[in-house]
Structure 1
Amino acid sequence: MSAVMNNVLNTPVEPVSESPPMKADTKEHAKARPSVTAAKPAARKLSFKPFFLAVLPPIFGLALLVLVWEIVAAKNSGFPSPMVTLQEAIHVFSDPFYQKGPNDQGIGWNLLLSLQRVATGFGLAAAIGIPLGFMIGRFKFLAGMFNPIVSLLKPVSPLAWLPIGLLVFKAANPAAIWAIFICSIWPMIINTAVGVQRVPQDYMNVAKVLNLSEWKIVTKILFPSVLPYMLTGVRLAIGTAWLVIVAAEMLTGGVGIGFWVWDEWNNLNVPHIIIAIVVIGVVGLLLEQALVALAKAFTYEEVRS
């Protein structure tokens, strides 16, 4: 027995080594796994692609617009070139708030007064149109009563209401505000009513089971669900209001960006007309983007599992 144990203890033990198949598998996995250092340069190259896609198309679009403008100016001697208009714009915006009389004021004062009219008419339309849209969408009787009125008056051009405003208010400023009001109220009423009507019936059934008051139904159920529709109506209304105020001021006169355009046309100052067009477009774009940001801030998306 002791001889056997001595033979076992004296037998040398070879170290355990990895089998060749295991080494082959490890190499294959290493080849299949992409290296981190090799992926970094590719990621850096791809990171600039969204930036170029966001920046280059608008630049090319503006460059194309300026090119067409330059061609038109070269073909027509009475049409100002982009460089002439730029020089006039620098002169106009060097003192935008000058005052030399009731009808001779800088573009800044005209723009501020137009925005004030839009804010007044738009605010009145929101104060009346949004609650009315809630009531039309909530109660079938009111929907049946107001739907024919909305369908009849909505297609009417806002400028067609301007003589009615002049007849009733006897002044140009409230008539322009009236035109803004009447063109802004329809999108708010329609979109708000549609949003209320599309609230899931299950929500209303839960409200009945819980015996919620009408105020809690409006604030806790209807308002959060209708908010995206309501903000869409607000966006459509502000765009229409800004379009209408220019035309209304051209007809009523006084001070405003629309009157400024018409006055410059009477003076045959075409560069100032182009400057006013650009200003009107920029202000409309800023109003639109502000409301888009507001809609995104208050709109939620359902999380899908």
Structure 2
Amino acid sequence: MALLIWQILATQGVLGKNFPGSVKTLEELVWWLSDPFFNNGPNDLGIGTNLLISLRRVLIGYGLAVVVAVPLGLVMGISRIADASLNPFVQLLKPVSPLAWLPIGLFIFRDSELTGVFVIFISSIWPTLINTAFGVSSINPDFLRVSRSLGASQLRTIHKVVLPAVMPNILAGMRISMGTAWLVIVAAEMLLGSGIGYFIWNEWNNLSLPNIFVAIIVIGFAGLLLDQVFGWLQKRFDYQL
């Protein structure tokens, strides 16, 4: 139904002159998916190739963010001193637009690939960090007292008590962080070159609106699949079910 309405509006010119309809967009989608991984140079890549470039940047930056955010969140949740020391910096940096870090990354790294990873890292670290710290601080203190009374060390308490209890919060933060990373990479790549974001910018310069919609569809489905993975993991570690 949505595709039909889209086609009618485009045909009647309601959305503007030469606005592509759903039929033209689907034709272009089929063409791009028929050979998605071709590589004819940096400005002529298949949509699958561009998608893999974006996914690579996202997974590296996101993975680094998780490696930093989870331990730091555990420390902030366990130690009031650490929370009081680090929380002001978190609240200061968290609202900053990820794209504001783009020129900083370009100046430091002088490389578009590393800059893309850096922007993803700095934008996706906060939800996981905050959710982890909140989850740890919300653990029933009786659990920790029982663990200590049984002679468990701090590391063993974290491994056996804290981590299992806070895992749903960690995964919720990771899910939000992945959504943020996937949003940011598209905007960042319009300036960095290559990737699905650059594909959209390049097609705009070519005045090819159908191909822009093709990219939007691909981005949406990729984001949906990533979100479904984290949704499954959340259900797997939801101990209240």
Normalising to structure 1: TM-score of the pair? 0.76
The question of 1:70 aligning with 2:7 is answered yes
- Match for 1:145: what amino acid? S
**Matches of 2:161 and 2:141, distance apart in 1:** 11
**Matches of 1:124 and 1:70, distance apart in 2:** 43
Out of 216, 224, 236, the position equivalent to 1:297 is: 236
- In structure 2, the residue matched to 1:288 is 227
Larger Cα-atom Rg: 1
**Matches of 1:252 and 1:205, distance apart in 2:** 51
Find the residue that maps to 2:83 and give its secondary structure.
helix
- In structure 2, the residue matched to 1:235 is 175
More off after superposition, 131-140 vs 97-106: 97-106
Shift of 1:70: 1.8
The runs of 4+ residues in structure 1 deviating greater than 6 Å are none
Find the residue that maps to 2:38 and give its secondary structure.
coil
Question: Runs of 5+ in structure 2 lacking a partner?
Answer: none
Shift of 1:125: 0.1
User: What is the 5 A alignment of 1:33-72?
Assistant: 63=1, 65-72=2-9
Find the residue that maps to 2:188 and give its secondary structure.
helix
- In structure 2, the residue matched to 1:119 is 59
- In structure 1, the residue matched to 2:215 is 276
Query: Which whole-Å deviations, capped at 9, do the CAs of 1:11-54 have from their partners, x for residues lacking one?
Result: xxxxxxxxxxxxxxxxxxxxxxxxxxxxxxxxxxxxxxxxxxxx
- In structure 1, the residue matched to 2:113 is 173
Out of 79, 88, 99, the position equivalent to 2:28 is: 88
Equivalent pair of 2:123/2:180 in contact (CA under 8 Å): yes
Q: How many residues align?
A: 238
**Matches of 1:209 and 1:90, distance apart in 2:** 64
**Matches of 2:27 and 2:150, distance apart in 1:** 68
- Match for 1:66: what amino acid? L
Out of 48, 70, 86, the position equivalent to 1:130 is: 70
**Matches of 1:165 and 1:178, distance apart in 2:** 7
Out of 178, 184, 190, the position equivalent to 2:130 is: 190
**Matches of 1:296 and 1:140, distance apart in 2:** 30
- In structure 2, the residue matched to 1:258 is 197
Query: Which whole-Å deviations, capped at 9, do the CAs of 1:104-127 have from their partners, x for residues lacking one?
Result: 111111000100000000000000
Find the residue that maps to 1:105 and give its secondary structure.
coil
More off after superposition, 242-251 vs 69-78: 69-78
**Matches of 1:156 and 1:67, distance apart in 2:** 40
- In structure 2, the residue matched to 1:210 is 150
The question of 1:160 aligning with 2:100 is answered yes
Normalising to structure 2: TM-score of the pair? 0.96
Q: Taking every aligned residue pair, what percent have the same amino acid on both sides?
A: 49
- Match for 2:228: what amino acid? Q
Structure possessing the higher relative contact order (Cα contacts under 8 Å, 6 or more residues apart): 2
Shift of 1:211: 2.1
**Matches of 1:180 and 1:101, distance apart in 2:** 25
Find the residue that maps to 2:207 and give its secondary structure.
coil
The question of 1:226 aligning with 2:166 is answered yes
Over aligned residues, Cα RMSD in angstroms?
1.0
